[in-house]
Amino acid sequence: MRSALQEKTKALIVDDELDVCYLLTSILKYKNLQTSYVNSIGEAKRVLNEGHHSIVFLDNHLPDGYGINFINEIRKLNPQIKIVMITAHDTNNDRNRAYEQGVDQFIGKPFTRESIFSAIEKIVN
């Protein structure tokens, strides 16, 4: 597993809460992922157009829209990208809708290091 994550795996965190961005960055660095973060869909569009990311950690409630409505656009930019939705709005309806839109994993907030590690293991294998 470690070799699959070394050097080439870049993760983009899209969340308007800086504390979440810092926490996820710390957790992902432990798994040898290169990370960057942005705080809006607009910033995410710019970053995703500029470089190749393997994984996007996407919040649903952002200042300029809903992450769930951004999933199709991410897929158009890079069909192979893995998307992990992280949101405080963790209902069965939200989960089902996110999976219908094409997320690979769904994690409710507050999340744990173990839930992030588990999601990574599921999407890189």
pLDDT band of 8, cuts 50, 70, 90: low
Under 8 Å between Cβ of 25 and 35: yes
Chain mean pLDDT for the chain: 91
Q: Is pLDDT above 50 for 6?
A: no
Average pLDDT over residues 119-124: 92
Q: Express each pLDDT in 21-69 by its tens digit.
A: 999 999 999 999 999 999 999 999 999 998 789 999 999 999 999 999 9
Domain count, the chain: 1
- How large a percentage of the chain has pLDDT more than 90? 82
CA-wise closest residue to 10 among 67, 68, 47, 54: 54
Under 8 Å between Cβ of 57 and 14: yes
pLDDT band of 3, cuts 50, 70, 90: very low
CATH value at residue 87:
3.40.50.2300
Element (H, E) at 2: helix 2-5
User: How many angstroms separate the CA atoms of 102 and 72, rounded?
Assistant: 8
- How large a percentage of the chain has pLDDT more than 70? 93
Average pLDDT over residues 77-105: 93
Domain span including residue 41:
2-124
